[in-house]
Structure 1
């Protein structure tokens, strides 16, 4: 392929946010060639993608283009824009800043882990507390049957709730169906919305979802790997309803198609907008299965479908609540200490085993994900905290959640205001 002939000045000449946004999309697609985890989905015009990918652009040049685009935005006076335009201007700037940072890193720029987290995701990593997990371990120790080593008991307990491979399909189907039913009671989905679930084997992943555009997602579940029953429901909520699939169908309809904001047709996993979006997706399970409702759904539907004793559902749900909090916080802390140079690789693995209660194989797999996605676990944990605190309790809770889920919100948008704007 030939080098690109585009320059940031091409967009700058128009001094127009549509031109900036279109060129940003091309830059994101170019960067995705060098960083396979940067672009999570693209559902914009095929012509834009095809035009972008006819050339190869090195990361240092992409960083330069991003700087040009930021300079262009500086020449657009937001005070002369209507409210939606001002919001777009602010959010487009943060998307481009994150792209500029990521391209610079790939080009060889060195940032501390904390600086990288702030620049890419718009949040600060949680400060260290040597006993942050003590209370969670104590609660798990009291709940889990038997005596002795906590990690051994925890893994044995969870292993007893691995869904038999011949029951994966009905369990996942029921989880997705119920999460969708509860979501549409609160949040209308675009016409023609569709999520297809399929099953495969021989893959390294447990499951994945791909948003294809036109309100359609494809889910594939690996029937070869052990999947505990809580993962079926968590996956249905986080990836399906009211999580990523729901978010993307609504944003495609409301932002890309209705407003013409093409920048939202490329979903990147490194930006402050991703922090809020992922936090809302994680919170989704708590929103539609509040209080005792999840344990009740396990007991009445999922446990019988998987062949488990329904009377065990309450204990299982209580253990999952604690272990989920342990992993969400622990992943972020291990990522910061390992990638920040505080822990060696061996020490990080041991921390994952001793604190997050993973076996050696799972700890190695988790560490590889941290190495690949870097600060993303911090963004996930902080995004969840920010959205949870913003949503709060009482009247207006669902309205605030829908705002965080479906609007392009930055972390600061949710921490500086108590209501949707």
Structure 2
């Protein structure tokens, strides 16, 4: 990377990686038929003509297909990474070299670089922000409130980001519309459950090459991501323990056949620990102290704060990298704890993230959410808005159609029945 490259409005690892990136982007597109249809429609309608759009996302092959669709719709788009270890450098290079999309992202960027890229994104004076984790929106509110006037709205598809947006609204600073893509049924039922479930285990296996069968895996959190992770781990032959703070999902995990207990108890039993809560310090110093020698710890929540690594460092006599994305903390007690992916998203740090087929629906929602904001500019109240049900249903219908699956339709008699209160026993 050079100063000249930055002036040309991109900052990627190596532009010569572009041909490989293009191959991989096109391969992912094969599994994303819904987004392809939306892209084709955008290319005709140009809903984003004159719109400056910033996306702070994991720079993967799937995100590339979203960015290409938005540009096809006329957007003046700029892309930055939402996580220092999730960028696929060949993809970033291809978006710059082959599609002319400014990208500021490279795998392994430090926090200082990440925050500088957030500032570059805001320099673009966005009308729409696609955020993963709400860092760009939070920075705008805290450091550049004068740019709120430029905003049509934002979209967010992470649980962590939605929690932050709700806090912003509660504090009275969210003065523009935000579309909650995360809670669309065609997002969290599939992306969070099947996507996170499969890709998390993929990341663990790539980082360690260990056999999961027979291992005791502790899954912290039983939301949709936790459900998918626990289910897939059991499918690989693991004995799964779930920890929770909410009594309702705790009952659900129990009835799904998992052992449920506090982390204080699970810490001494588990071989592998996976956090998917969206909260901070779910695994703390006292938990590390009671873990088995060689216990493996990783995170699949959005930010790297679910595991208290500072507390682990305080207990460590030595820290060494034993495999790519795999660090061994040798504790003063004589035991060791293995941390994967520096506590960041293991499915993107050590693997490729969610499969394209599931991201097809998630990014179809993102694309349609951006279109919804533009079409309803000036009409939406400040605050958090759901994806319209008809959009959610249409994405599901297109996905089924692409999969070659047909379903039933209501008969006229059935429609009359469900809309009537006079019919009974």
Question: TM-score, normalized by length of structure 1?
Answer: 0.27
Task: Name the structure with the higher helix share.
Answer: 1
